[in-house]
Structure formats: structure tokens, C-alpha cells
Amino acid sequence: MKRSNKPIFWSLFGAGGMLSALVGPALIYKTGFSSQALGYERALLLAQNGFGKLAILAVIGLFLFHGCHRLYHSLHDFGIHVGPGLKAAFHGFAAAGTLAAAVLLAHIS
Amino acid sequence: MNTITIECLRYHPESDAEPRFQSWPVPFTDDMSVLQGLQYIKDHLDGSLTFRWSCRMAICGSCGAMVNGVPRLTCETFLRDLYPGPVRIEPLNHFPIVRDLAIDQADFLGKLQSVKPYIIPDAEPQGTYLQTPEQMERYYQYSKCINCLLCYAACPQYGLNDRFTGPAALALLHRYNADSRDAGKAERMEVVNTEDGVWGCTLVGYCSEVCPKGVDPARAVNQNKIESTKDYFFRFFRK
């Protein structure tokens, strides 16, 4: 029987789900409504630190993988059966976004 | 004595081009179940109505049907709770109809067989197997499944893709994997790990809601997503 590759995407989905539930609302508040706490200056300091870069990458990448995986499955739930092409597009978008974030973070010094 | 209208899906493939509904007024007492209502119709109003039943006490799992759109055992659903009605009875969702309310269970039975729902002991069993209450607790709730298929009728994923192994078969798979006397986990993981194994589930959870025996198939399936993920990544370190 053919083994599914879902464990890879489900792990990323699960990690993103947990992270978004734990820090998502707080991040929206801190960056969107309470700019003093995590304004540009402080966010830049965070992005200049090695661990800070990793944390930002995790938040962006895992949120993307979580969201894309959910959208992909929601289409199936609505009876729109997406083939492997669109599946690759969803996960590819998340991977590209993660890669772009990694590259940009690496350029912040 | 009150009367309630029972509206039943009829389908006799030899004479009906497609399913139709038929209604009967059924007199009932407070202690009468939907199943007894159907039996009243068969005995007094229309002997050609076909439905499955046996134990009348939620043990055999034969009498499942959609009652007002919800998968229920008709033997433990009471007409008094559905009054003033009408009560709409249909065969379980997602299964082919053999005749009236009787569905074809062949697909499920094949899946049940595929999960090896029996204890596969070690090569050399060493006398009596002792089991602590804690060890029994790990699988006990899953052993209460009566194969009534309400969970398959509830599962939207099974409705969309009938290759999905489905809630009851996966819960029973877990029942044996979680049993300390069993050594067949590796064989069953092959089913778990496929696209149509646990990965066909998106954790809707309706299966656990409709189960008449308090089994939680959604939990079994999702515990096995973790098992499958561990199996996927750790297989490289095992050999």
C-alpha cells in the first residue's frame, strides 16, 4: 500500500495551527493596534537578532503552511476536488513565501 | 393514543426507477421507538416495507437509519420525542440502497477486514496474557463499537470519497493497536499510512457525536495521524 506524504504537510499544518492559536491574536494586537509595544524600531531589533529571525520565519512560514493546507482542504469539503496540480500550487505558495521571508530576513543586518 | 406521520423512503429496484417517499399515520404509545413504528407499518399497513433489525436494544447495530436527517439507531429513538412529526426515515447516507431502508454494507465489511480486527499475538505466546486496568482503559471504549455504520453516514469525507477507510474501521484498528496483548501494529500501520487511511479525515468530529455507544472514532483517527507521522519520520532511524 502506498504511503501518503501527508505527514509532512500535516506536521507543518499542525505546528502552524498551534502557533497561530497561541501567538496569532497577540501578534495582530501588538503589531496592528498597539504599535508602541512592537513598533518598527523594536521589530527591526528583533529581526537583527539570530533567534529573532528564526522566530519571525517560524511565524510567517508556519502560518502560511497552515492557511494554505486549510484552504486546500476546504475546497475539497465544498466538493471542489482539486488535483495534484492545485495541491502543489497551494503548498508551493507557502514554500515560496517561507523562502522569500528567509531570504529577506537574511538580508537584514 | 397519539398518531404520528411516518414518512419513509421507499425503493424497490425491480419496480422503482428511483427512490420515492411514502407516508403512513402511525398510532403510538409513549414507550414506542421509531423501530416499533416501522414494525407497526409492516404488520398493519404495508407488509412490503423493508428494514433491518434484530435486538431492539442498541446492541446489534442493525437498525440504523436517517431519522429526520440524523443518523440514529431506530430502536433507541422514541416517537414521543419526535411528536408532532412528521418523522422522515431514510436509509443511512453514503451507502447504496438494497431495498427501502436496507443498505449494502459490503464496502464497510471489506474495510473492516483490511484493518485486521483481531488480536495478532507474538510469535510465541507465553501462557495467559495479564492486563492491568490501565492497559485495558487504553482500548476499552473502542471495543464497544457495534458496526452500526452511523459514523459512516455522518462522515462528510466518506460521502465525498468512499475509498476513505472511515471512522468505525479506523477506531477498531486503533482498538487492536492499543491492546497490550497485540503485536500486529506494524501490519495495520500500512492501512493507517495511506492517503485513504487516517489521512482521509479532516477532523469534522460528527462521527463521534452520532455514535450510540460512546466510542470516539475521531479521537482514534487523530491519534493515529500522530502515529502515522512518527512512523513516517522515524522509519529512517529504525533499521
Per-residue model confidence as pLDDT tens digits over B115-158: 999 999 887 777 888 899 999 999 999 999 999 999 999 999 99
Confidence at residue B28, expressed as pLDDT on a 0 to 100 scale = 96
**pLDDT tens for each residue of B210-223:** 999 999 999 999 99
Give the mean pLDDT of A18-24: 93
Confidence of residue A104 (pLDDT cuts 50, 70, 90): very high
Query: What CATH superfamily classification does B2-103 receive?
Result: Beta-grasp domain (3.10.20.30)
Touching check for B189 and chain A: CB below 8 Å? no
Question: Letter for the amino acid at B159?
Answer: G
How many contacts does A have with B, using Cβ atoms within 8 A?
A: 37
**Cβ–Cβ contact B48 with A under 8 A:** no
Q: How many domains does chain A have?
A: 1
pLDDT tens-digit readout, A43-54:
899 899 999 999
User: Is a pLDDT exceeding 70 seen at residue A97?
Assistant: yes
Least confident of A86-90, A100-104, B168-172: A86-90
Does A2 map to a domain?
A: no
CB contact under 8 A, B225 and A4: no
Nearest to B194 among A3, A77, A81 (CB): A3
> Interface of chain A against chain B, CB under 8 Å?
1-4, 6-8, 10-11, 73, 76-77, 79, 81
Q: Is A41 among the domain residues?
A: yes
**A98 pLDDT more than 80:** yes
Indicate whether A1 belongs to any domain.
no
Mutate to test the interface with A, among B227, B229, B231 (most CBs of A within 10 A): B229
Dist. CA B30–CA B26, nearest whole Å: 13
Superfamily of domain B106-238: Alpha-helical ferredoxin (1.10.1060.10)
User: C-alpha dihedral over B189, B194, B198, B200, to 10 degrees?
Assistant: -170
Q: Which residue range(s) make up the domain with A42?
A: 7-107
User: Which position has the grid cell 523594536?
Assistant: A42
Q: Which of B165, B170, B173, B202 to mutate to test the interface with A (most CBs of A within 10 A)?
A: B202
- Calculate how close chain A gets to B128, using CA atoms only, in Å: 34
- Identify which of B156, B160, B194 has the shortest CB distance to residue A4: B194
Distance CA B155, CA B198 (A): 13
CA B147 to chain centre: 5
DSSP for B12-75, please give it: -TTT-SS-EEEEEEEEE-TT-BHHHHHHHIIIII-TT-----S-SSSSS---EEEETTEEEEGG
CB nearest A7 (choices: B156, B191, B229):
B229
Determine, yes or no, domain membership for A77: yes
Q: Which of B18, B17, B32 is nearest to B6 (CA)?
A: B32
Average pLDDT over residues B9-23: 96
Domain assignments of chain B as residue spans, ordered by start: 2-103, 106-238
The domain that contains A26 carries what CATH number?
1.20.1300.10
